[in-house]
Structure 1
């Protein structure tokens, strides 16, 4: 079951109606959120719910231990366990071959162990780290039920954004109001259009070319890479729009996760706009604890590289993800090194935006392909097919991407404009306008709804 399924829509409507029957009692609403979140997660896969409830149990008692003892070595051991648990599930496929060999040597080959990667484990693991840190630093302990509600909160459970404990509990202990109706409508439409229409069509185009790069000319290869860059943004930001609407429907707000990232003037600016909840998590829980920028330029650069490499490794166990993280780390280090020189593009923001976008797209090559060999096949095709004569349609597609890049800044406040238009639209007309937009989307959408790209992270 996905958030686009009819089953989820029906369950959400029923839950929404029951939830607001108890608008005067936020504690009952929290329990309803907990029950609904586990229902949804169980319908996706009962095994996922089992892993989550066991994990919540351990986090609860780790928090109790940290709260009672408040010893740094105990806190560090608990954090280490949390990280090792994530690594076990995330990288088990990579070590399964070695594990099978060990079992064979021990005569236990009949134990054919296989572990399914629970969707969302990365995000609720990071959220649990924020909770343990908060317990250690501020001595704020939550009950098991409240912790379970936080870690299973269905708008952020599957693909984030990463919800910090203080951000969630600050809202969980307040009486809620149902408001921002027009913003909810706009976010739902944005999420559907971005994923179902834009991301899906771009995937159909880019996947065909990127999966067989040797058969295409340079213009097609470049356009396919641009298409993938837009696809991954629309795919993930569309999901965030969708779950932000769900959260608002319950009286919660989610942390900002995207802010027009392809408007970034440099890589540092890009990471202040892209997957913001992850980049700030890495900054606050990895980069700053390592020393941040407090110990000279060399140590600062090293800390940046470590943070970005870890970010790459989190996305996947292949060397390509490490290269992707390292490229971004080196880019940010370069920005730091030239910050005090005359060589900067602040006076030419359009050029800085263009260079940043090209660099980000180049790095996406290593994000898309699973192996270094596949990435080199693409790069080799770009070199060998550079002088192949493109068809007119190939040039037109590239021109379309160039035009979109140039007019992209015009969409800075587009969401706000849409909300204002709905504010000024008569109530009787709204259902017809919404129905018309959704009818167009579902009439022209490609068949099937592929998985969200970040569901594997």
Structure 2
């Protein structure tokens, strides 16, 4: 079930909200939690009920392992050590994820390297497996560190399946979620949270349906359909995807945070205007913040972090981001995207250690363009698609300007510059250029939704903005459009 669908907005969400608080009003706390778990599993099963047993088995397995890690274990020959149990739990989780997400990738590369012809499994990736796997791995590690105090399966199931963040995050910690569900004050409707939740949800819905899906048309045409791209088409393609990805995923996160607030639950901030970043390190402190936190706490630091030699620190950075790239998708383009970001972070650290600085505008320009170029590999389905887009972006051999400029700039024909329909291959028009400019204005000149939420006051201005965003989005719900991170 999509957040941006009529059935979710006008049926599932209001029904779940009212029944949950009705049960709490009747002091049926256990029943209200059970209903929320049931609703979340129904929400998950809406896509494909065949994978419902998978998430149930995963939850039960990790609950048992987590409980084992919370208990005092006598170190003797008849019992396993906590470290052994933790390793076993992590290996099983990664094996499950690896089987569904990476089996065909490894088979393809094995066939290519050895010259064999092993049949691919053609497995359909279970929805949200990357997110609930990482979330439960974090739970196991936290249990090993004695940072969790939960022994009830119903509460654990609620932690894993809570539907606003189940499908694509934010990736949450047990210790930041369960105290909220246990707080009696959160079991009563909070009208300020409801107003703020609807405000943030409306902004997120508008981001996805109106902005991201508009850019999606040009990005999809440029990457997947067009055979060749001229200079402006190539830049319009890459920038369209850069904006599409941001407004799509941050829109999802806004909706998740807004929906959770309806239930008096505060999810962690996942985006903080990442395209305003002045360095690649700053970018990763702003982009997909909960994933960055996971990579830092459960991969980078366990590898040694920056506590060893400089070479080891740089190696740990590179390994962390290559793993992060591979988590996003089973393909060499994802690995290379992670590699690029790892190298960029190493260069930034070297630059900072040498004490060099640069102008603010130049720092932003370099950071944004690096991120934009790296996204080309992230989006491309094949290497050829990336080469096509990047080739067009940096080639001066194929420049086409709008035909209406020919009368004033006709002398440019002497330099092999043509005039005509400049955006034909990406199904664009003059509005494409306007939209890209508006995209820059939105990401650079305006406060983000989380900043607006901090000083939120229910008045005619916020009510009007919510209404405009909500109605504009609803009127644009003319077709089902999945979120990009559902693929990861």
**Equivalent residue in structure 2 for 1:131, among 139, 146, 150:** 139
Using the alignment, how far apart are the partners of 2:234 and 2:110 within structure 1? 40
Unpaired runs of at least 5, structure 2: 74-80, 406-421, 424-429
1:453 is matched with: 484
Find out whether 1:64 has 2:36 as its counterpart: no
1:40 is matched with: 43
Spell out, residue by residue over 1:137-193, the C-alpha distance to the aligned partner (whole angstroms, 9 max, x if none): 116342222211111111111111101111111212111042323321221211111
Alpha carbons 1:223, 1:397 under 8 Å: kept: yes
Worse-superposed segment, 323-332 or 203-212: 203-212
Spell out, residue by residue over 1:400-422, the C-alpha distance to the aligned partner (whole angstroms, 9 max, x if none): 63565366433125665588686
Using the alignment, how far apart are the partners of 1:324 and 1:180 within structure 2? 38
Using the alignment, how far apart are the partners of 2:297 and 2:455 within structure 1? 36
- RMSD, aligned CA: 2.9
1:215 is matched with: 228
> After superposition, where does 1:159-198 map in structure 2 within 5 Å?
159-175=168-184, 176=186, 177=188, 178=190, 179-198=192-211
Instruction: Give the TM-score taking structure 2 as reference length.
Output: 0.83
> After superposition, where does 1:278-427 map in structure 2 within 5 Å?
278-345=291-358, 348-384=359-395, 386-391=397-402, 397-398=432-433, 401-402=436-437, 404-405=439-440, 408-412=443-447, 416-417=451-452, 423-425=458-460
**Equivalent residue in structure 1 for 2:86, among 55, 75, 79:** 75
Distance 1:117 1:418, change over 3 A: closer
Using the alignment, how far apart are the partners of 1:283 and 1:183 within structure 2? 31
Distance 1:75 1:215, change over 3 A: closer
Distance 1:437 1:3, change over 3 A: closer
Alpha carbons 2:272, 2:450 under 8 Å: kept: no
SS of equivalent to 1:389: strand
Using the alignment, how far apart are the partners of 2:66 and 2:256 within structure 1? 28
2:257 is matched with: 244
Instruction: Give the TM-score taking structure 1 as reference length.
Output: 0.88
Using the alignment, how far apart are the partners of 1:261 and 1:214 within structure 2? 31
Shift of 1:313: 0.7
Alpha carbons 2:203, 2:469 under 8 Å: kept: no
Shift of 1:129: 1.2
Shift of 1:84: 1.3
Spell out, residue by residue over 1:346-373, the C-alpha distance to the aligned partner (whole angstroms, 9 max, x if none): xx22221111000000001100112223
SS of equivalent to 1:390: strand
Worse-superposed segment, 182-191 or 389-398: 389-398
Unpaired runs of at least 5, structure 1: none
Distance 1:247 1:399, change over 3 A: closer
Shift of 1:66: 2.6
Aligned residues between the structures: 443
**Equivalent residue in structure 1 for 2:99, among 64, 74, 88:** 88
